[in-house]
Amino acid sequence: MTVAPVTTTIIKKEVTTIKTTPVTLIEGDGIGPEILDATLDVLNAMDTSFVWHRFKAGMRAYEETGDALPGEMLDNIRQTRLALKAPLTTPVGSGFRSATVRLREEFVLFANVRPARTYIHSPRNYDNIDLVLIRENTEGLYVGVEHYIPIDGDPKAVAEASGIITRSGCRRIAEFAFDYAVRNHRKKITIVHKANILKALTGLFLETALEVGRKYEGRLEIEDRIVDNCAMQLVINPNQFDVILTTNMFGDILSDEIAGLIGGLGLAPGGNIGRDTAIFEAIHGTAQDIAGKGIANPTSLLLASAMMLDHIREPELATRLRNAIRAVLVEDHIRTIDLGGDASTSTYTAAIIRRLQSDCA
């Protein structure tokens, strides 16, 4: 009997290099370190390829270094071009200027993106909200050009502030918003202004946004609303809106109103985006009254992380994270105290990790 020779086939395995993404972590004040730790636990459980560079900022950094935004941290952001930020304390009425506003100016983060989606049932039955507010982030009244005028011995008899809006700034944010809407398969943009009263300041914003919008006719429905009417319509029927484009101060106010419609700031993330740098953040306050108690809600920062994953072109990971959060809140009914539950930060975080792991099983 002739035995056939044994043939050995050598299969060469292709070596894949996992690309790592460096991220600057901004620890923040109050509950900031707690929700950042929880968020890192979740992201690390997803086998993401992030390399973390962690820094203190805000009041804690100011007390230690004399600067709410230490130079070492700013230098790191210049290198990574990507940051995840917990909330920072801003003194009211006096003290240092808002560190968050300084960050936006330092890196020219001209676009503030605030998505709002329904995750839990609302007492007003707004169960299908899915809208995005895009706010110009560097101009308007928030540029901080203000002073006092003394009269009759009173050094603060009159306070005066100037809002500054440029055509180039209006065009930049309008182009970003329209491109965002098309790229994310949105159908409609509402330009929000107060051009009936502030005819120059917000009239320029409206005029420029409509001019940019002409290039998108046929792809998007475009309308405009006066800000006070928009605020009322959001309460009456938020589902009539898709993407809202507005100025700095109006966007600050309306985005918090929108967060209230979906259950509060604890469920609302934010992204500050420029030409080459992006900082994603929890948009609620530092909640000093519950800091250290282990009951803080990390959802806002987790959803901001999902935005960051979308930004670095990892949409599948972003969707997995959002789905796990939704499942824990809606199906498992595990919620922190601010959402009407009794879960601790660690219990809630562990539940999300379990959902992510079962999703991969």
pLDDT tens by residue, 278-310: 999 999 999 999 999 999 999 999 999 999 999
Which among 203, 219, 246 is the end of a domain?
Answer: 246
pLDDT score recorded for residue 49: 86
pLDDT tens by residue, 183-228: 999 999 999 999 999 999 999 999 999 999 999 999 999 999 999 9
Examine residue 5 and state whether it is found in any structural domain, yes or no.
Answer: no
pLDDT score recorded for residue 9: 39
161 and 224, same domain (yes or no): yes
pLDDT tens by residue, 20-47: 899 999 998 999 999 999 999 999 999 8
Alpha-carbon torsion angle 337, 341, 343, 344, nearest 10: 0
Average pLDDT, the chain: 90
Residue 117: is its pLDDT beyond 70?
A: yes
Which among 214, 246, 278 is the end of a domain?
Answer: 246
pLDDT score recorded for residue 144: 79
**Which residue intervals of 14-125 are DSSP H helices?**
32-45, 59-65, 71-80, 99-106
Residue 270: is its pLDDT beyond 80?
A: yes
307 and 222, same domain (yes or no): no
Q: Which residues are catalytic?
A: 142, 194, 228, 252, 256
* % of the chain with per-residue pLDDT over 90: 80
217 and 293, same domain (yes or no): no
4: pLDDT confidence band, cut at 50, 70 and 90? very low
pLDDT, mean of residues 335-355: 96
Query: Residue 275: how many CA atoms within 13 Å on its side-chain side?
Result: 6
pLDDT score recorded for residue 142: 84
226 and 154, same domain (yes or no): yes
CATH code for position 86: 3.40.718.10
Chain centre to alpha carbon of residue 286: 15
Residue 129: is its pLDDT beyond 60?
A: yes
pLDDT tens by residue, 156-180: 999 999 999 999 999 999 999 999 9
Which among 198, 219, 246 is the end of a domain?
Answer: 246
Residue 3: is its pLDDT beyond 60?
A: no
Residues 20/49, Cβ–Cβ less than 8 Å: yes
145 and 181, same domain (yes or no): yes
pLDDT, mean of residues 234-260: 95
107 and 158, same domain (yes or no): no
φ, ψ for residue 115 (rounded to 5)? -75, 150
The closest of 196, 190, 136 to 167, measured between CA atoms, is 136
pLDDT score recorded for residue 90: 74
Residue 312: is its pLDDT beyond 80?
A: yes
pLDDT score recorded for residue 94: 54
298 and 233, same domain (yes or no): no
What pTM did the predictor assign? 0.89
289 and 202, same domain (yes or no): no
pLDDT score recorded for residue 124: 60
Chain centre to alpha carbon of residue 97: 20
3-state DSSP helix/strand/coil % of the chain, to nearest 5? 45, 25, 35
185 and 93, same domain (yes or no): no
Examine residue 183 and state whether it is found in any structural domain, yes or no.
Answer: yes
Tokens of 139: 């101009």
The closest of 36, 26, 33 to 69, measured between CA atoms, is 26
* % of the chain with per-residue pLDDT over 70: 90
Tokens of 4: 């056939």
Examine residue 9 and state whether it is found in any structural domain, yes or no.
Answer: no
pLDDT score recorded for residue 126: 61
74 and 143, same domain (yes or no): no
Examine residue 251 and state whether it is found in any structural domain, yes or no.
Answer: no
Residue 8: is its pLDDT beyond 60?
A: no
Examine residue 6 and state whether it is found in any structural domain, yes or no.
Answer: no
Examine residue 254 and state whether it is found in any structural domain, yes or no.
Answer: no
Examine residue 252 and state whether it is found in any structural domain, yes or no.
Answer: no
Q: Are strands 221-226 and 154-164 parallel, antiparallel or unpaired?
A: unpaired
The Cα–Cα gap between 189 and 212 comes to 12
The total number of structural domains that make up the chain: 2
pLDDT, mean of residues 82-105: 81
72 and 158, same domain (yes or no): no
Q: Are strands 111-117 and 269-273 parallel, antiparallel or unpaired?
A: antiparallel
User: What domain range is 157 assigned to?
Assistant: 122-128+138-246
pLDDT score recorded for residue 143: 84
142 and 236, same domain (yes or no): yes
pLDDT score recorded for residue 56: 93
Examine residue 133 and state whether it is found in any structural domain, yes or no.
Answer: no
In this structure, is the dihedral angle defined by the CA atoms of residues 162, 168, 170 and 176, taken in order, positive or negative?
Answer: negative
pLDDT tens by residue, 314-344: 999 999 999 999 999 999 999 999 999 999 9
The Cα–Cα gap between 335 and 162 comes to 43
CATH code for position 177: 3.40.50
99: pLDDT confidence band, cut at 50, 70 and 90? confident
pLDDT score recorded for residue 100: 87
pLDDT score recorded for residue 2: 44
